[in-house]
Amino acid sequence: MDTDLDSVATTLYVTIDDLFTAHREQLPDRPKSGFQPKTTDSEIVTLAVLQVVLGYHSERRWIRYVKRRLAYYFPCVPNQPGYNQRLRALASALVWVSSALARSIDQWADGVWVADSTLIECGRSKETVKRSDVAGWAQYGYCVPHSRYFWGLRLHLVATLGGLVAGWALSGAKAGEREVLDGISSRLGCRPGQTLITDKAYYGKTFEAGLAEEGIVLLRKARKGEKPRPGARFFNLNPALSDHIHAC
């Protein structure tokens, strides 16, 4: 018996169930009459969080593992199609509870956050673009690091130096990184004195003035033709030292 896993599963379920009990508005409405699922919304959300923590990318493999290893705690887990359907219905609740759990961790108070985006290529051929489920949402965009165009989405993240994701967003490839970051920061709330590290793509007088009004200090490398920016010394590390930091 893995007592650590049992403790994590129990603690996580109790925490999530208490959160939903106090904030019932975060759960989808359910008819008072008719079929009532045997597995509660709190249990489904707990299983979704555990699936990510334990690194199960396949829902079928995860369901088999739960029925074999955690059946004592979750005796009525639906099969993969039903599990996936419940997750889709609880999408907004999952986003909310993820943020609530992140805020309860000590790393949330970290005074330095980093922000960046990465491409998610969804297809290359024209037929794929036409038939894909994300058609109409995914867009053509340009990837600077790879020096090529791609069709897909962009994942935007704001995280602590320790790796805790504070905020995220999924957008079309053409969505402006600064506008998306504005949306993420507005959801996170004002954090006066917070330092935010980004790359050169996050620039602009209006954008930086907005962050300054919220008390956020932006650190990034100077663009070509710009005057030296505050914190430039942090980006001019000795190459050997930089490699050592990345290796760690």
CATH number, domain with residue 229: 3.30.420
Considering the domain boundaries, does residue 96 fall inside one? yes
Q: Looking at residue 2, what is its pLDDT? A: 58
Clarify whether residues 113 and 220 are in a common domain.
yes
Contacts with 230 (C-beta within 8 Å, 6 or more apart), sequence order: 217, 219
Q: Looking at residue 41, what is its pLDDT? A: 93
SS3 69: helix
Q: 103, 120, 155 — which closes off a domain?
A: 103
Q: Looking at residue 190, what is its pLDDT? A: 63
Q: Looking at residue 63, what is its pLDDT? A: 95
Clarify whether residues 211 and 89 are in a common domain.
no
Clarify whether residues 81 and 97 are in a common domain.
yes
Clarify whether residues 217 and 98 are in a common domain.
no
Instruction: Give the closest residue to 46 by CA, choosing from 89, 5, 12.
Output: 12
Amino acid (one-letter) located at 202: Y
Give the C-alpha separation, 197 to 116, whole Å.
Answer: 9
| Helix and strand counts by DSSP (H, E) for the chain | 9, 6
Q: What is the pTM of this model?
A: 0.74
Q: Looking at residue 216, what is its pLDDT? A: 87
Q: Looking at residue 22, what is its pLDDT? A: 94
Kindly list the averaged pLDDT for each block of 10 residues, start to end, along the chain of length 248: 78 94 89 78 94 92 93 91 93 89 87 89 78 79 77 90 88 88 80 86 88 87 83 62 44
Give the C-alpha separation, 25 to 18, whole Å.
Answer: 13
The number of domains in the chain is 2
What residue numbers bound the domain in which 131 lies?
106-238
Clarify whether residues 132 and 226 are in a common domain.
yes
